[in-house]
Amino acid sequence: MTATPHDVPEADGSLTAPARARARAAGPGGRAARFARGPLLPLLPAALTLAVSLIGIRRPSLWLDEAATISMASRSYGDMAAVFDHLDLVHALYYMIMRPWVLAFGTGELALRLPSALAAAAAAAGVAVLARRLHGTSAALLGGLAFAVAVQTSRWAQEARSYAMVAAVAVLATYLLVRGVEPGARRRWPWFAGYAPAVMALGFLHLHGVLLLAAHGATLLALRAAPGLWARWLAATAVAAAPLVPFALAARHQTRQVEWLPEPSWDVVWTQVQFVCGSRPLVVPVLAVAAVGAVAGLRARTSPRGVPLTAVAVPWLVLPTVLLLVVSMVGDPMFYYRYTVYTLPALGLLAGAGLARLLAAAPRRADRAAVLAVAAAALVGPSMQAHDMIRREESRPENMRKAAEAVAAEARPGDAVVYLAGVVRWNAAAYPDVFGRLDDVGMRVDPVSAANLKGRDVRPRDLGPKLAKYDRVWVMNHRSLDPHVPIVDAREQAVQAAGPWRPVRTWTFRGGWLVLFERTGR
């Protein structure tokens, strides 16, 4: 029997709507078709993402950035607002979201990181929904699964910061844009009405996320959008920008927080390529599959809805990073690798389209199985070491759990602690239930009252009288402190002058050291 034009498979090998209707009537194939079109397909990548993300999620210690989340989310909204006036405004929405979560579930590693894991799962589901809209069923399933097992998906799903949430909202905003610009769409305004608050949320979760607008503008250019579509998009963008512009202007005065950002260089670019792909061994296979996907998704006729996947995914993947690097070259550095996590779903789209194209080129089932086996070996195999690395205790800049375990095991009621600088107190907030048992004799004003993360310290000369009534004192340092800085050296000398002490034990951990002293001669 000769096939009709309606029976021709889509570019990724999935069936067209009439063929799917006939497949439904055929029994088991109909069930497969309903799965492909229904809500269960996106749930598979979401479930896999959550499962992979939960593996080892408790193992790495909480560290400085996550300590900031704990410190801020443990405060009332009023106390948060006092901080945002001069500090951490760009993370305000994330802290506000985390506040009720922390109240309900606490600040353990699993509880604190679970919202990010759930956000990554939502992003994976969104990748599948978007890929199905842009390139068909096979690309949807494969793209969602590729995103689910990606190294950086797990890394930021296991971090109590906003990056996974930003990625999920970026997927949502892109989906709303695609629905709004599809050829033949009957009602466009509801999609653009949803697009505006999505972009707004994106910017409030992390200000760099608004660079997605540049990618969306490039998508409209690639589509040769009609003036009416441009007008709707610009109107939605203007609505989103109304609160984001003053927000950005206020955040500009807090740039001293990121003075540590690196200057752009070719080394930075190469590191970014490795970051996006997951690790150095993954660069070639990931970019090769993505390139196949970009070629496969070039033309509108390969898209079930008439919007080329490449026109959406390539600007999304490339433009935000390029713009951040360019701005950093002409002004103050603004680029860092984790700021681009929200571009990773675009790589999932391209990988899904590339894998679907490779499968479609295989005529027999055995050939397709071989293609999948080779793809898994090339993509999953080299990622295992990187997956293992991000789940090790030493994968974070500080292993504050080791310090907390030492205090939990050795501390006695009435012990004092001296943090050699405010950043050490901030770091100790990663495990507040443990370090909170010690009397912080070096603190003049606590972080909440000081409306910051570090609190305010007493002068070194005032440490002696405060330590006179203590028989044991813990002294803790941080990796960022130069021991030759006069104030740090003065605090150490003040502790020693309050003795005599004998060192009971020293603990060295990733990111610092901790010493317990006991008084002698009383």
The pLDDT tens digits of the residues spanning 280-319 come to 999 999 999 999 999 999 976 777 778 999 999 999 999 9
CB atoms within 10 A of CB 38: 10
Query: Would you state the structure tokens that stand for residue 514, as one six-digit string?
Result: 């901790």
Q: What is the pLDDT of residue 36?
A: 60
Q: Of 446, 457, 496, 449, which Cα lies nearest the Cα of 473?
A: 496
On the question of pLDDT at 19 being above 60, the answer is: no
Q: In what order do the strands lie in the sheet with 472-476?
A: 439-440, 416-419, 472-476, 512-519, 501-509
Helix (H, G, I), strand (E, B) or coil at 502: strand
Q: Is the pLDDT of residue 11 over 80?
A: no
Which amino acid belongs to residue 473? Answer: V
Q: What is the pLDDT of residue 372?
A: 84
Among candidate residues 172, 235, 177, 245, the one with its CA nearest the CA of residue 202: 172
Q: In this predicted structure, what is the pLDDT of residue 13?
A: 43
Of the candidate ranges 15-19, 328-332, 387-391, 493-497, the one whose mean pLDDT is the lowest: 15-19
pLDDT higher than 60, residue 23: no
**Predicted local confidence at residue 4, as pLDDT:** 36
Largest CA distance in the chain: 102
User: What count of other Cβ atoms lies within 10 Å of the Cβ of residue 251?
Assistant: 18
The domain spans of the chain are 108-392, 400-519
User: Which residues fall within 8 angstroms of residue 194, CB to CB, at 6 or more apart?
Assistant: 176
Dihedral sign, Cα of residue 352, residue 358, residue 364, residue 368: negative
* DSSP state string for 177-214: HHHHH-TT-S--HHHHHHHHHHHHHHHHH-GGGGGHHH
Dist. CA 391–CA 155, nearest whole Å: 8
Percent of the chain with pLDDT over 90: 77
331 exposed, middle or buried (CB, 10 Å; 0-12, 13-18, 19+)? exposed
CA 227 to chain centre: 35
Task: Provide the phi-psi class of 482: left if phi over 0, else alpha when psi is between -120 and 50, else beta.
Answer: beta
Q: What is the pLDDT of residue 31?
A: 58
Structure tokens at 378: 């090339």
Residue 266 to residues 272, 273, 331: CA-CA distances in angstroms? 10, 11, 17
Contacts 24+ apart (CB under 8 A), 501-504: 501/473, 504/410, 504/472
CA 226, 227, 229 angle in degrees (round to 5)? 70
Q: Roughly what angle, to the nearest 10 degrees, separates helices 109-135 and 64-73?
A: 100
Pair 279, 386: CB distance under 8 Å: yes
Judged by DSSP in three states, 14 sits in coil
First to last CA, the chain: 102
Query: CA nearest 99: which of 79, 76, 119?
Result: 76
> Residue 247 and residue 241: Cα distance in Å, rounded?
9
Confidence of residue 30 (pLDDT cuts 50, 70, 90): low
- Flag whether pLDDT at 483 surpasses 80: no
| Of 477, 476, 468, 473, residue with least CA distance to 438 | 473
Q: Cα(186)–Cα(156) distance, rounded to whole angstroms?
A: 38
CB 232 within 8 Å of CB 192 = yes
Averaged pLDDT score across all residues of the chain: 90
pLDDT at 83: 95
pLDDT at 25: 41
> Taking the alpha carbons of 397, 399, 401, 403 in that order, is the dihedral positive or negative?
negative
**Contact at 8 Å (CB) between 65 and 91?**
no
Residue 41: alpha-carbon gap to chain centroid: 24
pLDDT in tens, 393-448: 889 999 999 999 999 999 999 999 999 999 999 999 999 999 999 999 999 999 99
Q: Which pLDDT belongs to residue 426?
A: 96
Q: pLDDT tens across 41-75, in order?
A: 999 999 999 999 999 999 999 999 999 999 999 99
Q: Residue 443 carries which DSSP code?
A: E
Q: How many CA atoms lie within 13 A of 433 on its CB side?
A: 7
- pLDDT surpasses 60 at 200: yes
Could you give the 3-state DSSP secondary structure of residue 107?
coil
Amino acid found at 235? A
Task: Give the residue among 353, 390, 476 at the shortest CA–CA distance from 11.
Answer: 353
Per-residue pLDDT tens digits for 314-360: 999 999 999 999 998 888 888 889 999 999 999 999 999 999 999 98
> Looking at residue 361, what is its pLDDT?
86
Q: Specify whether the CB–CB gap between 382 and 151 falls below 8 A.
A: no
Pair of tokens at residue 438: 């010690």
Spell out the residues 6+ positions from residue 444 whose beta carbon is closer than 8 angstroms to its own.
Answer: 455, 456, 457, 458
Average the pLDDT over each of 10-24, 111-125, 190-204 and give the range with the smallest value.
10-24
Count the neighbouring beta carbons within 10 Å of the beta carbon of residue 493.
13
- CA–CA dist 407, 437 (Å, integer): 9
